[in-house]
Amino acid sequence: MDKRQQKKRTINGENRRNRKTFGMWFFLVAAIIFILFTVRFSYIAIFKDVQNHNLKSQAAKLYTSSQVIQAKRGTVYDADGNPIATDTSKYTVYAIIDSSYRSASGKALYVTNKKKTAKVLAKYLDLSEAQILKILSPSSKGIFQVQFGTAGSNLSVATMEKIKKANLPGINFTQIPAREYSEGNFASQLLGMTTLKTNTKTGTTQLVGDMGLEGYFNKQLTGTNGYRTVKQDVYGYQLADSSTKGRKVENGDNITTTLNNKVQHQMETLVSKVEKETQAEGITAIVMEAKTGKIVAATQRPNMKSETPSWTNALTQQTFEPGSTMKVLALAAAINSGNFDPNATYTSGTWSLGGGKITDWVTSGWGTITYKEGFYRSSNVGFAHVEQNMGAKTWMKYIRRFGLLKKVNVYGMGNETAGYTTFKGKLEQANTAYGQGIT
């Protein structure tokens, strides 16, 4: 064998050994990788966990649909069962102006005819065609959708349906829960109001009572939201063998008031007339069933419906001096305590007492008159004498028995203010008998 053949054979032998060594190492590496993959997949299959992400829970979320069922807020009724505060929906209109927004079939889902859209919307929104057209044509580029401010918010169901009927491409609505007071200007301070608040944890919106009956009974009226969960496929369809789980919705409780619909409306009309004729800064009026204490009608001006609204209930949250109406209570106390002689006399007009002077509304008075006549003439001096004849301690006892210096605790009304009097000195004590120096 020559040297060339021997060298060639040696090289071929080395190549075979190299290939064999390489094959062994390749097999070993592949086997290790295969074992690692097998262990990893086994771990995932058993523990359903990848980098601290639970695959089972992730899959459950992916193929499970959860829906919150909004609880219906309770209805408030008048004494005859007529609804005066009910649940409804309000709508906000918005317009999509991005021309790339189309359906899967290529149908335009944006505003295609801005002039026509502006003309239709101007019929239902408190905006002119020019104003709407300007909103639909913003100077900035890349804007997907626009809204119409307060003019496009809080739209009624009827208004929303009228706009929808026009079939305007790109015009859509968002729905929000709202409260409807169907009787209009009707005991607004007593009924109160609600505002829309969002739960930061759940992302759900809910009506919350702020004042009046809506605020006082908010917990009872609100109810409890329900929810339901179903398993679905990748296309969003419920799986045939899946069961619906969740919690049943509990609607809010209803409330029936003692308000009489006809009497309340009549009072609202009369009070509005008096307000217009007198330009009064404030008016309160109430009709109560004397034997039971039931409030049949109650209103005030200004109220929540006024041009300059008031957010307090003047009937329970404001104090005032009762004036001459107090004389009825002072007379009742004097008679009940045995300190009133209707035929006794006194000098009317003025009377100096406790370092001050008490004056009748007719300063010259009516001469010497009986206490009976003094009551008829609403004499301040006469009732100052009545209080002095009773004595301050007796009179204060009756003031407290009448419940004048404490809260009435009208059921359903919060933040009530109590009456007050200093009741110090003869003059101040006598003043309370005709309604001054006491609230």
pLDDT 10s digits, 355-372: 999 999 999 999 999 999
The pLDDT of residue 33: 80
User: Would you say the C-alpha torsion 368, 372, 378, 380 has a positive or negative sign?
Assistant: positive
- Report the share of the chain in percent with pLDDT over 70: 85
Q: How far is CA 237 from CA 230, 233, 243, in A?
A: 10, 6, 13
pLDDT band at 68 (very low <50, low <70, confident <90, very high): confident
Catalytic residue among 156, 324, 337, 378: 324
Phi-psi region of 118 (alpha: psi -120 to 50; beta: other; left: phi over 0): alpha
Which listed CATH number (3.90.1310.10, 3.30.70.20, 3.40.50.720, 3.30.930.10) goes with 67-256?
3.90.1310.10
As a whole number of angstroms, the distance between CA 198 and CA 196 comes to: 7
238's tokens: 């419920």
The pLDDT of residue 112: 94
pLDDT band at 69 (very low <50, low <70, confident <90, very high): confident
Catalytic residue flag (residue 324): yes
pTM: 0.69
Whether the link from the prior residue into 302 is cis, omega within 30° of 0, is yes
The pLDDT of residue 230: 65
**What is the distance, to the nearest Å, from the Cα of residue 363 to the centroid of all Cα atoms in its chain?**
52
Q: Is the pLDDT of residue 306 over 80?
A: yes
Task: Check if 67-256 and 323-434 are the same fold.
Answer: no
pLDDT band at 205 (very low <50, low <70, confident <90, very high): confident
What are the extents of the domains in the chain?
67-256, 261-310, 323-434
For residues 357 and 394, the answer to whether their CB atoms sit within 8 Å is no
Terminal Cα-to-Cα distance of the chain (whole angstroms):
136
Q: Is the pLDDT of residue 236 over 60?
A: no
In what helix (H) or strand (E) does residue 356 lie, and over which residues does it extend? Answer: strand 356-359
Architecture of domain 323-434: 3-Layer(aba) Sandwich (3.40)
**Average pLDDT estimate for 27-43:** 73
